[in-house]
Structure 1
C-alpha cells in the first residue's frame, strides 16, 4: 500500500511522517488529518483496543515519537501507525474539515473517473463496503450511475475499505447537494445496420436460456421433464392424429341430452 521510508534520516522520519505517508505512492486517496484532530483524545475513543502498540503508533503519527527501537519493533510500530491513521481517517473525512478536503480532491479527479461510457468520465469517490477493518478493500463510487467499481491500480486495490467507511460518499452529497449529478438514464441500444434489434429477439433468447437453466436444475434434482418440442409426432399416422381431439366434448353433450330428456319425462 505504500513505500518504505528508507531514504530519510530518523529525525526526518519522525518529524514528517504524515507528509511522507500522504505523498507515498498508493496513498493518493487519503487526505491529511489536522494535528488538532489527532491530538484530541475524544476523536480516538476506542482505537486503543484495535491497534497494537497504540501509544507508540500515535506518537509516530503526531511526530513526537522518540524511542530507540530495533528494526523489528520499529516495523511493527510503523504498521500500527498506518492502521491507526486509516481508522482515524475514516472518522475525520465525515467532519466539516475532512469533507472539505475530500471535496477538493473529488473536484480535481484524484480518485479517477467512471469507466462507464454513458457517464462521460464523471469523477469517482472512494468508499468502503464495511466499517470493520479487514473485511473488504476500498471501492470507487460513481454518483451518476450509482454503481461501484474496483480501482485500476493494484496499490489502491489493497487499501482497506474501512479507512473510508460506508457512509462518507453519501454524507458528502448530503452536505453538498448541488454536487449531486443528474442520474444517468441513457442505455446502449444494440443495432444492426442502423436498425434497433427487436425486443422479441431478446425475449426469445432469454426464454431459451431460462428453460435451459431450469432443465439443468431439474436434472440435478433427479426430475425428468419433457417439453412439447421433445415429442416426435412425424411417425404417427393420420388416423391416430384424427382420433385425438383435445376439444372433443361429445361425451358431455350426450350426458346433457339424457339429463334434459329425463327432465322432459318428469314433466
Structure 2
C-alpha cells in the first residue's frame, strides 16, 4: 500500500464520491477491491459484474457503442452492428455505481473503513440529531435493508435510537444498501466513547422535567399524549435492571402479569388510526 492515502484509490472512485456526496462516502482502497474474497457473492447481484469491476478500477472497458461492426453470426444482434454481450455506457455506469456501493458497505465495516467513518462522525459530517435532549448528538448513516433498490439512506442517532431522513435532498438518492444495517451498531461497539457521549447527555436530562404539562401537572405515560419516548433515554442503573436489559437483548422479556391483557374481541373494537392532522377546532366543535 502506498504511504500516501490519495494513491490507494483510483480517479473513478473520487468522481463517484464527489457526485453522490463526499460527506457520506469514504474512498475504498484499491487493494480492498482487488481482493476477490471481499467481493464474494456480489457477482450475483450486479449485472455485467466483470465490466463494472474493471470500470471501478479505471481499466479500459469495451461497450456496445465501441464494438466494431461485424456479421450477426459471430455473437452479434441480428439486424445491427453491435454485440449483444456488451453493455452500453449508461448500463455500465449504473452497474459500476451499484457494485461500488455494495463494496462500500463491506469496506466501512472493516477496520480501516470504520476508522475513516469515525473521523467523519467526529466532524459531524452526517449531521446532528434534531431532538433537543440529544444535545447535538452526531448522526450515523444507516440502511433499512441490505438489499439494493428498496430504501434510501437514513441517519441513526445513538442517543435516542431513532432514525431520520437527511436534511439535504442531495442525499435522498443514495441507496441505503450502500451503508447497510450492520455499520451503525458496529461503529458504536468499536468506539465505546460514542456510548459514553450518549450516557453523558442522558444523565444531564432531569427525568422529572421531561415531557409536557397541563396546569403544572405531568401527563401520565399511559396517555396517548404522554411521554411515550421517555424509555429511549433510560439506561439501566441497578444490577437487576442490567441483567434484565442483557436478557432482553437476546430474547423477548417474560410476560408481565400487571400489564394490560386485551382480548381479540376488544382489540377488534378499537378504531383504526387515521393519519389526520386536523383537530376539533377546525371542525367547529
- For Structure 1 versus Structure 2, the TM-score category normalised by the shorter chain is 0.5 to 0.7
Matched, 1:196 2:216: yes
Report the counterpart of residue 151 of structure 1 in structure 2.
166
Aligned-CA RMSD value: 2.9
CA distance in 1, matches of 2:217, 2:92: 61
SS at match of 2:28: coil
TM-aligned CA distance change 1:154 to 1:201, over 3 Å: closer
Q: Deviations over 1:24-76 (max 9, x none)?
A: 25453111000000111111111111111111111110111342553981111
SS at match of 1:145: coil
Report the counterpart of residue 34 of structure 2 in structure 1.
39
Structure 1: which 5+ runs fail to align? 1-14, 207-213, 221-267
Deviation for aligned residue 1:101: 0.6
Higher Cα Rg, which structure: 1
Report the counterpart of residue 111 of structure 2 in structure 1.
96
Report the counterpart of residue 233 of structure 1 in structure 2.
none
Report the counterpart of residue 121 of structure 1 in structure 2.
136
Mapped contact 2:52–2:99 kept (Cα < 8 A) = yes
Mapped contact 1:137–1:157 kept (Cα < 8 A) = yes
Report the counterpart of residue 142 of structure 1 in structure 2.
157
CA distance in 2, matches of 1:74, 1:55: 14
Deviation for aligned residue 1:133: 1.7
Structure 2: which 5+ runs fail to align? 1-9, 67-86, 227-264, 272-285
The alignment covers a number of residue pairs equal to: 197
Matched, 1:106 2:126: no
Q: Deviations over 1:67-123 (max 9, x none)?
A: 255398111100000000010011110100100110111111111111111111111
CA distance in 2, matches of 1:68, 1:197: 71
Report the counterpart of residue 182 of structure 1 in structure 2.
198
Q: Deviations over 1:136-161 (max 9, x none)?
A: 22110111111111111223122221
Matched, 1:164 2:179: yes
Report the counterpart of residue 55 of structure 2 in structure 1.
60
CA distance in 2, matches of 1:167, 1:75: 31
Task: Please point out which of 43, 49, 67 is paired with 2:44.
Answer: 49
TM-aligned CA distance change 1:204 to 1:143, over 3 Å: closer
TM-score, scaled relative to structure 1: 0.65
SS at match of 2:163: strand
Deviation for aligned residue 1:219: 9.0
CA distance in 2, matches of 1:201, 1:91: 41
TM-aligned CA distance change 1:100 to 1:68, over 3 Å: same
TM-aligned CA distance change 1:170 to 1:191, over 3 Å: same
Matched, 1:20 2:18: no
TM-score, scaled relative to structure 2: 0.61
TM-aligned CA distance change 1:198 to 1:68, over 3 Å: closer
